[in-house]
Amino acid sequence: MKKFHFIFDKTKKAKNLEKKFLKLYKNYSAKKSDYIIVGGGDGFMLHVLKKYSIYKKPFYGINCGSYGFLLNKFKTIKLENDLKKTITIILKPIEITKINKKKVKIIAINEVSLFRQSRQTVKLKIEVDNKAIINNLIGDGVMVATPAGSTAYNLSVGGPILSLENKKIAITAISPFRPRRWKGKIIQNNSKIKIYNYDIKKRPVALAADNLEIRNIKNVSIRTSKNIKIYLLFNKKNSLHKRIKIEQKIKQREKKFWK
């Protein structure tokens, strides 16, 4: 019999589901488990994935929130039956290696975004592999998005939807004022990105790595993590691959509609 470690959010729906599972299964430690079972919404799932990725165990998420892009629909309390019908998706998060020239290690599964923290627009320089791709971006900010995160905040500001197989990440401008037509750039996921804030006092900048926020950013270094891999289990009929393809088709239809 497989060993499970259960982590559920504090919502009423999640707690009710947790009680059902714990009547049938023992809750092993994350280290001794074969699978980590997560119940909650996408935000809670992101939190758990980052905290428990050190155990290198497959995660099976059950949606107890609204959209549940990273989770599965609850079907049955017998987990063995559901797990037999899953496929494994491997995610490579992006990693912040330096903030204000100080070494750090902060991962993001969806995106890292830099945005203005006052009424003033930001004024940024962006380098990829030590070459400037834009010297003077003025606007609300910029984000670096993974394929898994490309359908979230990245899509809402007009960024591209990335396929998991293409090994790309997206740099997307947030409400660019100058240059007006610069929407961003798609780059290889092994690229090193550096972003500089030109005017720290007049134009303060905050950073968000998924749901973690840090303020007063002078400069930041970002890359795809070399060592961290996250194993997500999805029902074969509704995997992350298929969900991303559905979003791509919706975006194509919307483009045709607005032409």
| pLDDT tens figures, 38-65 | 999 999 999 999 999 999 999 999 999 8
The pLDDT value recorded for residue 257 is 62
Residue 203, pLDDT > 80, answer yes
In 146-249, beta strands by DSSP E: 168-178, 184-188, 192-197, 205-209, 212-214, 219-224, 230-235
Same domain membership, residue 219 and residue 99: yes
Q: Mark whether 170 and 103 lie in a shared domain.
A: yes
- Regarding whether 205 and 104 lie in a shared domain, the answer is yes
pLDDT band at 154 (very low <50, low <70, confident <90, very high): very high
Q: Say whether both 126 and 204 belong to one domain.
A: yes
The answer to whether residues 195 and 134 belong to one domain is yes
- Per-residue pLDDT band for 244 (boundaries 50, 70, 90) equals confident
**pLDDT: which is higher, 230 or 246:** 230
CATH number of the domain residue 118 falls in: 2.60.200.30
Note whether 42 and 114 are same-domain residues.
Answer: no
Q: Which domain CATH number covers 25?
A: 3.40.50.10330
**Same domain? 206 vs 98:** yes
Helix (H) or strand (E) holding 17: helix 12-24
With a CB cutoff of 8 Å and minimum separation 6, the contacts of 32 are 3, 5
Q: What is the pLDDT of residue 66?
A: 83
Query: Confidence band (pLDDT; 50, 70, 90) for 193?
Result: very high
Residue 169 pLDDT > 90 = yes
Average pLDDT of the residues in 6-23? 96
For residue 115, what are the domain limits?
Answer: 94-224
Q: What is the mean pLDDT of the chain?
A: 93
Same domain, 111 and 81: no
With a pLDDT cut of 90, the percent of the chain lying above it is: 79
The yes-or-no verdict on residue 259 having pLDDT over 80 is no
pLDDT (tens digit, 9 = 90+) per residue, 211-242?
899 999 999 999 999 899 999 999 988 888 88
- Judged on CB neighbours under 10 Å (0-12, 13-18, 19+), 51 is exposed
- Residue 174 pLDDT greater than 80, yes or no: yes
What average pLDDT does the segment 168-181 reach? 93
Evaluate if residue 137 carries a pLDDT over 70: yes
Residues 109 and 54 in one domain: no
* Pair 42, 19: CB distance under 8 Å: no
* Residue of 1, 45, 46 lying closest to 25 (CA atoms): 1
Assign 243 a pLDDT band (cuts: 50, 70, 90).
confident
Whether residue 218 sits in one domain with residue 241: no
* pLDDT for residue 180: 84
Mean pLDDT is lowest, of 16-20, 143-147, 251-255, for: 251-255
Asked whether the predicted pLDDT for residue 202 surpasses 70, the reply is: yes
Q: Which two tokens stand for residue 188?
A: 């290889």
CB-based contacts of 214, cutoff 8 Å, min separation 6: 99, 206, 207, 208
**Which residue in 9, 34, 42, 210 is the catalytic one?**
42
- In this prediction, residues 191-195 reach a mean pLDDT of 98
Closest CA to 47 of 93, 12, 79: 93
Residues 206, 234, single domain; the answer is no
To the query of whether residue 199 is one of the catalytic residues in this protein, the response is: no
Residues 251 and 219 in one domain: no
Q: How many domains does the chain have?
A: 2
